[in-house]
Amino acid sequence: MKRALYPILAAASLCACLTPGGPTPRSPKAPDAPPPAVRWVPPEEWPLLKDDLPPEPLAKAAGRAVAYLKTLDQGKTFQVAGRSVGPQLLIDTAQDLARLRAETASPEELTARLKDGFDLYSISGASQPGGAFFSSYYQPVLKASLVKTDRFQYPLYKRPPDLVEAPLGLFNPKWKGESVVGRMDGGRFVPYFDRRDIDVRKALEGRNLELAWLETQFDRLDIHIEGSGLLELPDGSLKMARFAATNALPYRSVGLSVVGAGAMTREQITHETLRQYLADHPEGEAWLISQNPRYTFFELVDVPADGEPNGSTGQPLTAGRSIAIDTKSTPLGAAVLLKLDMAQTDEQGRLLGKAPTSRFAFCQDEGGAIKGPGRVDIYVGHGPQAAGVASKVWDAGELYLLLKKLPPRRQ
C-alpha cells in the first residue's frame, strides 16, 4: 500500500507548484552525461598489461583473427572512438601483439613495449558505467544418437528450408547490413516458429529435419544456448553439431526465469543445479523451456583437429583467447585485454574460487544475449572443467581494446 502513496504525493507537490503564490517551478538539473563507451587511455593511465596464459594460444587466436580480416573488403572501415580503422590496421595489431607477447616475459617490459607502438582504449557499458561485464560459454559434450530410441528422445534440427533471411538493405540503403528472419505464411512474411511452437507443439515434426537425438531436455537447451556441441554416439565416435542458424527471436535466459519464479537465487544457478531443477520438475518443463523463444538449428560435421567450434568469423575459437562481443560497438578481429576476478574450477568442474585474471584475447564471435559496449562472453573450451567455469562467470571487470599507432604521415 505504501507504494500507492508516491503518485498521490507527487501530484500534490505538482499542484502546489502551480498554485498562485506557491514556489516558482525550477527546471530540473540535467543529468550528468554518461562516460563515453570507448575512451582513449593516456599512456600515464595505462594499467599493467599482464597476460596470464601461455603465448602459443594467443598466436593461434591471432592467426585466426588475421585469416578472417583478410577476407574483408580492405576498403571497409570501423569506427573506434571517432577513429576510422581499416582491416589492415587490425591485422597489424594482431600480428604485432602476438609477436611482442612471445618475445617478452615480463608484464612491465611488455607494457612498456606496447606503449611505444599501440594506443589503448577502455570500453565500458551503460549497465556497468566505467567498466565491462563478463559471462562465459563453452562447448558441451553430450551423449547422442543419430536415430530416435527409448533413451534418446529429444531431436536437434537442421535449418528448415522455409526459414528465410531477408536483407533489409535491398529495400532501403539506410538499412544496409540489417536483416529479418521469418517464413512465408499464406502470402505474408511472419516470424519463424518459436521454441514453444517447435518443442511443445511439434511444429517441425514429420519434416525429416532431425539430425540427432539427445537424452534430456536440458541437454538440448544447453547446446542451443552454447551454439555448438560435441556429440558422443553409442559406438564411441564423435560428431560436431555446429551452429547453422537461429529463428532470430529474442534470447531470454532460462536460468533467470527460474530466479524470477522464486525457485532459486542468482547465486544458486549453476549448470548442475539448473539441470537438476528441470529433472525434478517435469510438470513445469513446457513452461520453462518456452521462456526462451530463440531456437538454434545445426549441421553435423566431422570434429576438427582441435575440437573447437567456429565463431562468427568462420574461424575456430581458441579457449581462453576468444570472446563474443556486440559488433555494433567492437569489430570482429579486434585485439583486447580482459581484467576480472574469474572463476577457477577443478577437472570435474567444481568451483575452487575466483582469481584475478588478466589476458589478451580476440573478438571472434557474437551472441544473442551479448548486447552493448563492454558486454563480453569468454569462450573457455569443452569438457567438465569448461562447463564448470561457464556457469560461474558473471562478473564486472575491465575491457581494453588495443590498436597499432598510425605511422607518421609522408604525404
Q: Which residues, in sequence order, are CB contacts of 158 under 8 Å at separation 6+? A: 209, 210, 211, 244, 297, 298, 299, 300
pLDDT in tens, 89-145: 999 999 999 999 999 989 999 999 999 999 999 999 865 555 899 999 999 999 999
Beta carbons of 361 and 317 less than 8 angstroms apart: no
Beta carbons of 57 and 359 less than 8 angstroms apart: no
| Counted domains in the chain | 1
How does the average pLDDT of the chain come out, rounded?
88
Cell of 135: 559471462
Counting every residue written for the chain, the total comes to: 411
Instruction: Give the residue-averaged pLDDT of 385-393.
Output: 90
Backbone angles phi, psi at 66, to 5 degrees: -65, -45
Residue 37 reports pLDDT greater than 50: yes
- For residue 79, the enclosing domain spans 35-137+305-411
Within-domain flag for 193: no
Q: How far is CA 342 from CA 49, 255, 349, in A?
A: 17, 20, 14
Cell of 159: 535449418
Backbone angles phi, psi at 183, to 5 degrees: -150, 160
Instruction: Kindly report the number of other CB atoms within 10 A of residue 252's CB atom.
Output: 16
Q: Which residues, in sequence order, are CB contacts of 241 under 8 Å at separation 6+? A: 144, 156, 211, 212, 223, 228, 229, 230, 231, 298, 299, 300
Q: How far apart are CA 338 and CA 315, in angstroms?
A: 21
CA 340 from chain centre, in angstroms, equals 16
Q: Which residues, in sequence order, are CB contacts of 318 under 8 Å at separation 6+? A: 57, 60, 61, 64, 308, 362, 364, 379
Within-domain flag for 184: no
- Global pTM value: 0.83
E strand map for 14-115? 38-40, 78-80, 83-85
Q: How far apart are CA 337 and CA 327, in angstroms?
A: 17
Q: How far apart are CA 115 and CA 110, in angstroms?
A: 9
Residue 190 reports pLDDT greater than 60: yes
What's the per-residue H, E or C state across 227-256? CCEEEECCCCCEEEEEEEEECCCCCCCHHH
Residue 20 reports pLDDT greater than 70: no
Residue 217 reports pLDDT greater than 60: yes
Residue 21 reports pLDDT greater than 50: no
pLDDT in tens, 149-188: 999 999 999 999 999 999 998 999 889 888 899 999 999 9
Within-domain flag for 186: no
Cell of 210: 532431425
> Would you place residue 411 in the very low, low, confident or very high pLDDT band (cuts 50, 70, 90)?
low
pLDDT in tens, 300-326: 999 998 889 999 999 999 999 999 999
pLDDT confidence of residue 256: 87
The CATH number linked to 65 is: 2.40.40.10
Within-domain flag for 384: yes
Residue 402 reports pLDDT greater than 60: yes
Cell of 69: 580480416
pLDDT in tens, 259-294: 888 888 888 888 788 889 888 988 888 888 899 999
Beta carbons of 136 and 354 less than 8 angstroms apart: no
Residue 26 reports pLDDT greater than 60: no
Q: How far apart are CA 231 and CA 146, in angstroms?
A: 10
> Would you place residue 381 in the very low, low, confident or very high pLDDT band (cuts 50, 70, 90)?
very high
Beta carbons of 217 and 197 less than 8 angstroms apart: no
Percentage of the chain lying above the pLDDT 90 cut: 69
First to last CA, the chain: 72
Within-domain flag for 290: no
Q: Which residues, in sequence order, are CB contacts of 106 under 8 Å at separation 6+? A: none
